[in-house]
Chains A and B, each alone.
Chain A
């Protein structure tokens, strides 16, 4: 069974702090994703990565950066946290993504970040 693990379930940070959200998957998936989920909005893609050291901007990358130094680990970094980054953050991985890939996304159980 695929397991995607996010380092923290709940996190409270102050405005201006640098925040690291970690995600690890154990299925050797090439693709990894960071989403945020807010009430009334669909999941919004922040960044994704299809290989080690590769990263692509999603729909809302501003204020975020990512790191993928190892295949199993994808980190999301908030360089200077702001209150509008208070949200649920979901990491996901999949085996393939592209023209022929319909592999399901496997999600971690989320990190609820509150920035005060």
Chain B
């Protein structure tokens, strides 16, 4: 079992829809959680950290479920510019473990 797993997608979603995807992690002692965004042929960039109580940044909401060991990312009112690969990152034992990413395609 991979330490951090994501559905690779692609998720094909119409513009304006709400989309959510999860990321599961295997180490229950994981300390911190992040979502990065990677556009095609570009480098990853931090989208948001994920806090225990859940957090929101505009149209993006991140949640952490420690009991079931997953984090989620919800995107509301999706835009064409949201098309990207979303990488889940988990900090375990002071190391960052990266998921392979979920590809999101927003269609007009």
Q: How large is the interface on B (under 10, 10 to 19, 20 to 34, 35 or more residues)?
A: 20 to 34
Q: Contacts A98-B94, A109-B42; is A42 near B8 (CB within 8 Å)?
A: no
- 16 further interface pairs, Cβ-Cβ under 8 Å (given A102-B91, A109-B42): A35-B98, A42-B97, A42-B98, A42-B100, A42-B101, A43-B44, A43-B87, A98-B94, A99-B94, A102-B32, A102-B49, A104-B34, A104-B46, A105-B46, A105-B96, A109-B43
What is the 8 Å Cβ interface bit string for chain A, positions 78-107, against chain B (1 contact, 0 not)?
000000000000100000011100101101
Please report the C-alpha to C-alpha distance between residue A90 and residue B38 in the assembled complex, in whole angstroms: 12
A45 at the B interface (CB under 8 A): yes
- Chain A stretch 42-98: residues in CB contact (< 8 A) with chain B: 42-45, 90, 97-98
Give complex CA distance A35, B2 in Å.
18
Question: What does DSSP make chain B's interface, helix, strand, loop or mixed?
Answer: strand
Cβ A45 vs Cβ B95 within 8 A:
yes
CA distance A40 to B97 in the complex (A): 14
List chain B residues, Cβ under 8 A from A108: 43
**A41 in contact with B49 (CB, 8 Å):** no
The size of the chain A interface, using a CB distance under 8 A, is 18
Chain B residues with CB under 8 Å of A44's CB are 98
- Mask: chain B, 35-57; 1 = CB below 8 Å from A; 0 = not: 00000001111100100000000
Chain B residues within CB distance 8 Å of chain A: 2, 4, 8, 32, 34, 42-46, 49, 87, 91, 94-101
Residues of A within 8 A of B101 (CB): 42
**Can you give 7 contacting A-B residue pairs, CB < 8 Å?**
A42-B87, A43-B44, A98-B94, A99-B94, A104-B34, A105-B96, A107-B44
Q: Closest Cβ of chain A: how far from B36's Cβ, in Å? A: 8
How far apart sit A45 and B97, CA to CA, in the bound complex (Å)?
A: 9
> In whole angstroms, what is the CA distance A41 to B10 when docked?
15
Q: Which residues does chain A contribute within 8 Å of B46, judged by CB atoms?
A: 104-105
B101 to chain A, nearest CB (A): 7
